[in-house]
Structure 1
């Protein structure tokens, strides 16, 4: 496989055409005309991403402030640990999106990654926002330090750190592709046991503000996963020497290992949570892996989990997969904005 280091894309190079000759390592003037791009359907992806604009402090957390002390000890512990997990996963995503854009020689990719980076920054802000609503600063800091200290979470995140850091140190096409694989795993698999926890609370009418926030993050991640999968397929097509059995088997290995680690994590953090069947959760993780592999143009590796085995979660996820409407915007749980930080005027 090629070890040629890529140069960062030039900001403006009038000698080159506006339509890029390649996603990475190509030639482009740096001028973006959305009506003249190499992959025209990516304009629709850009518009969907922009259409998802939201801000953390628009979600009213008033009822969550009252409800958090009434949660069981296991639910409170899982709440704080899972927020710690999500912040650990989303933390690098703003930077990695910007890093990919620095080496992208297609200006449409640069623009889409800029939107993704901005949304990841909002996700990070939202974790601080929800924690500041329900616990003290000391508890907030413990939650955010969880990702640096917990051995199960450190084991789970080790490969993400390895491949993201490899890309930063050695920006080759191969390492960009490997980074895309782990970004797809993040966006499409690693978040989902955490999402399931908050949706499980919501179906008991608990912590609906937090779950509303999670639903908006989830909707963003679905779009991010779609684009990264498309970018992976297009980059692999432009670099056919990397589209070989060795690399494809590497991808499958990462998915298998990631499913094992996600299952181990979910058993660790959700074991005492009423309403969540861990066997069902393990099947759901495999279902998500299959779905991401299909989006990346690859074959399923868990043929017994082609369909979603966690039927109850469909109301929270499938209902807004590909649309702007989600469960929490229905009348039964009306999404409300608040002009006062965290909705404390509702107390």
Structure 2
């Protein structure tokens, strides 16, 4: 029998899981698998035709920005995180996350192809690839993926998953609460359901590494984390004004951002920074954050938005460890 010392490559053994969180996260993510092709986006065209130009512009820019972030998450983030996996099962979970981030990015293009003309789509991507605020946050996050420490990469990932996406999520959640663009919002809710697991899982892995640091190293990491969050939030304020000033929603979107920034810190086991709570967020939008979804495919038995089993969103407490 060959010993481990002589192994060239070791097979992954799911019957010998080192960290039960890896197994439970894998099961959660595979249970809630979905694809955008089963969401009837064309049913939203009547709502779309009744939107004014400012509303249409906002949705286009929102989804352009989300596409860019999900592209980074699928192309750079997981490659960066995979190098520092603690277990082979963590690598498997990250592979799952990487694929779903690609599904997310593609989903926005499905929305574009339903609602927009070819010329409009080209304009949206031109804006996305040149907007200073959007490119700045892309650069900040991606540079950490390329050059940061293992723990810094995890912080950047959680900030993206649990904070930076939410300036874009606000608009479709608001429309959902007003019975508009229900199928577009269905995709956003499915994405949010994924991101809630991604953010808490990576946050948990961060906490494992953070607890191995000395007290001095922990304080240095905390200072870096909060400084980074301030930098990202300042940029996000300008980005939010650009997206929402014409609709008069800017202040309430910023409240939503601060609430989600706190959630990101909590995923990392840190103390919230901002005073904003769920009670301060527009209740219509907070209601949309619930991860239950509505479509049902009776032929495939994919129900309540793509449930392949009885799936509930994992709570942050499932991933918290002693700090």
What TM-score range do you get, normalising by the shorter chain?
0.7 to 0.9
1:135 aligns with 116
Q: What's the CA shift for 1:69?
A: 3.0
1:118 aligns with 2:73: no
2:28 aligns with 48
CA contact (8 A) 2:80 2:146 kept: no
Q: Distance between the aligned counterparts of 2:119 and 2:85, measured in 1?
A: 41
1:107 aligns with 2:88: yes
CA change 1:284–1:30 in 2 (3 A) is farther
Listed as ranges, the gaps of 5+ residues in structure 2 are: 301-323
CA contact (8 A) 1:156 1:265 kept: no
2:66 aligns with 86
Q: Distance between the aligned counterparts of 1:142 and 1:165, measured in 2?
A: 29
Task: Report how many residues are paired.
Answer: 297
- Give per-residue Cα distances to partners, 1:113-164, cap 9 Å, x unaligned: 0000010111111011110111122222222232221123223333113212
Q: What's the CA shift for 1:91?
A: 0.3
CA change 1:146–1:41 in 2 (3 A) is same
Listed as ranges, the gaps of 5+ residues in structure 1 are: 1-12, 19-27, 168-174, 321-325, 340-347
1:62 aligns with 42
1:267 aligns with 241
2:128 aligns with 147
Q: Distance between the aligned counterparts of 1:183 and 1:58, measured in 2?
A: 28
2:197 aligns with 223
CA change 1:242–1:113 in 2 (3 A) is farther
1:289 aligns with 2:261: yes
Tell me the TM-score normalized by structure 1. 0.78
Q: Distance between the aligned counterparts of 1:99 and 1:156, measured in 2?
A: 17
CA contact (8 A) 2:176 2:288 kept: no
Tell me the TM-score normalized by structure 2. 0.83
Q: Distance between the aligned counterparts of 1:56 and 1:250, measured in 2?
A: 37
CA contact (8 A) 1:116 1:224 kept: yes
- Give per-residue Cα distances to partners, 1:19-66, cap 9 Å, x unaligned: xxxxxxxxx964333343332232111111111100111000122233
- Give per-residue Cα distances to partners, 1:182-221, cap 9 Å, x unaligned: 1101100011121111111222222211111111111111
SS at match of 1:301: coil
Q: What's the CA shift for 1:14?
A: 5.8
Q: Distance between the aligned counterparts of 1:165 and 1:101, measured in 2?
A: 12
CA change 1:336–1:36 in 2 (3 A) is closer
2:4 aligns with 15
Q: Distance between the aligned counterparts of 1:287 and 1:83, measured in 2?
A: 21
Q: Distance between the aligned counterparts of 2:53 and 2:296, measured in 1?
A: 27
Q: Distance between the aligned counterparts of 2:111 and 2:216, measured in 1?
A: 43
